[in-house]
């Protein structure tokens, strides 16, 4: 089932187009890996999907609006986990932000939502850190907390921007395994330069360099412990 379709999208900064004639669909329970060169338009494309940017041309369609529509909740995990990391806030409070809704009396989080936040931290293996300040956590631990926040509200689509940047290889694998476990219930889009996510976890690849080329991932008998060239890998993909 298609959640959304991008048809003929163009986007420019000034007179320079960073995206041209972009066409692809996002399917329910997809695990999309978004790759491409710096400046190729990956972040711009994600901002369009998040509704932060509007394309100059083209449209996004929602074939099953009862399942997913422009007002559907989207979970988002930014790349930089160090922003405001010194702010005196506990991990549980960061996760509970995912539940915040405006009310006449301000923003409130219910007791049940706090329990759900703790449950989400538990699923991500960091419940024991719930009442630690965010500044006391490692980069990988902060990333798990932000993923927990993105999952609050049970969004159908979760978008992550370089979720394993500046994290050691072992922790990268742990985070991708956790994301894959959520993939049965959530559609996941990951911007990544980490080829291992393509081999072990993603169902399709979006190669973004002004235009978007969609690749399926075949069974590849490659040694992921060695160096894998992105170009060589894409030569083995099928469109």
- In this prediction, residue 208 has a pLDDT band, given cuts at 50, 70 and 90, of very high
- Indicate the range of 52-61, 202-211, 230-239 predicted with least confidence: 230-239
Kindly write down the DSSP assignment for every residue of the chain, as one continuous string: -EEEEEEEEEEEETTEEEEEEEEEEEETT-EEEEE--TTSSHHHHHHHHTTSS--SEEEEE-TTTTTS-TTS-EEEE-S-S-TTTTSS-BHHHHHHGGG--EETTEE---HHHHHHHHHHHHHTT-GGGTTSBGGGS-HHHHHHHHHHHHHTT--SEEEEESTTTT--HHHHHHHHHHHHHHTTTSEEEEE---HHHHHHT-SEEEEEESEEEEEE-------TTS---HHHHHHT-B-
Q: What does pTM read for this prediction?
A: 0.84
Question: Please, are residues 206 and 35 in contact by the beta-carbon 8 Å criterion?
Answer: yes
pLDDT of 60-109, one tens digit each? 999 998 889 988 889 998 876 665 666 788 999 999 988 866 554 556 77
Q: Name residue 74's beta-bridge partners.
A: 157
DSSP alpha helices (H): ranges in 50-161? 91-96, 111-123, 139-151
Residue 126 has pLDDT above 90, yes or no: yes
Give Cβ neighbours of residue 5 (< 8 Å, ≥ 6 apart).
24, 25, 26, 60, 61, 62, 63
pLDDT of 33-46, one tens digit each? 999 888 899 999 99
How is the beta sheet containing 57-61 ordered, strand by strand? 16-27, 2-13, 57-61
Q: What is the mean pLDDT of residues 163-177?
A: 79
What is the percent of the chain with per-residue pLDDT over 70, rounded to a whole number?
82
Give Cβ neighbours of residue 87 (< 8 Å, ≥ 6 apart).
134, 135
At residue 88's C-alpha, the angle toward residues 87 and 90, to 5°, is: 110
Question: What integer pLDDT is reported at residue 230 of this predicted model?
Answer: 54
- In this prediction, residue 117 has a pLDDT band, given cuts at 50, 70 and 90, of very high
- Given the structure tokens 């060169």, which residue do they identify? 37
- In this prediction, residue 221 has a pLDDT band, given cuts at 50, 70 and 90, of low
What is the percent of the chain with per-residue pLDDT over 90, rounded to a whole number?
46
Question: Please, are residues 35 and 217 in contact by the beta-carbon 8 Å criterion?
Answer: no
- In this prediction, residue 198 has a pLDDT band, given cuts at 50, 70 and 90, of low
Question: What integer pLDDT is reported at residue 139 of this predicted model?
Answer: 83
If you ran DSSP here, which 8-state letter would residue 69 be given?
Answer: -
Q: Select the highest-mean-pLDDT range: 2-11, 75-84, 197-206.
A: 2-11
Q: Calculate the CA dihedral of residues 6, 76, 83, 120 and round it to 10 degrees.
A: -170
Question: What integer pLDDT is reported at residue 104 of this predicted model?
Answer: 45
- Indicate the range of 22-26, 211-215, 219-223 predicted with least confidence: 219-223
Question: What integer pLDDT is reported at residue 82 of this predicted model?
Answer: 61
Q: What is the mean pLDDT of residues 106-122?
A: 84
Domains of the chain, CATH where assigned: 1-72+156-239 (3.40.50.300), 83-154 (no CATH)
Q: What is the mean pLDDT of residues 201-230?
A: 73
């Amino acid at each position: 089932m298609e959640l959304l379709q991008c048809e003929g999208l163009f986007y420019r900064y000034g007179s320079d187009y960073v995206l041209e004639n972009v066409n692809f669909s996002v399917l329910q329970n997809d695990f999309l890996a978004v790759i491409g060169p710096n400046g190729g338009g990956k972040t711009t494309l994600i901002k369009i999907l998040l509704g932060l940017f509007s394309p100059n041309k083209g449209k996004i369609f929602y074939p099953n609006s009862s399942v997913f529509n422009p007002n559907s909740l989207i979970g988002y995990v930014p790349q930089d986990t160090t922003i405001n990391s010194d702010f005196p806030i506990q991990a549980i409070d960061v996760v509970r932000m995912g539940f915040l809704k405006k009310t006449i009396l301000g923003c409130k989080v219910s007791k049940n939502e706090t329990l759900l936040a703790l449950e989400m931290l538990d699923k991500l293996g960091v419940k024991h850190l719930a009442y630690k300040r965010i500044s006391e956590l490692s980069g990988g631990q902060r990333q798990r907390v932000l993923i927990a926040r993105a999952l609050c509200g049970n969004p159908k689509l979760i978008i992550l921007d370089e979720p394993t940047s500046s994290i050691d290889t072992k922790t990268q694998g742990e985070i991708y395994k956790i994301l894959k476990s959520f993939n049965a219930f959530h559609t996941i889009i990951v911007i990544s330069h980490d080829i291992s996510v393509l081999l072990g976890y993603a169902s399709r690849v979006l190669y973004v360099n002004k235009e978007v080329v969609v690749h399926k991932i075949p069974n590849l008998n490659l040694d992921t412990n060695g160096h894998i060239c992105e170009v060589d890998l894409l030569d083995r993909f099928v469109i």
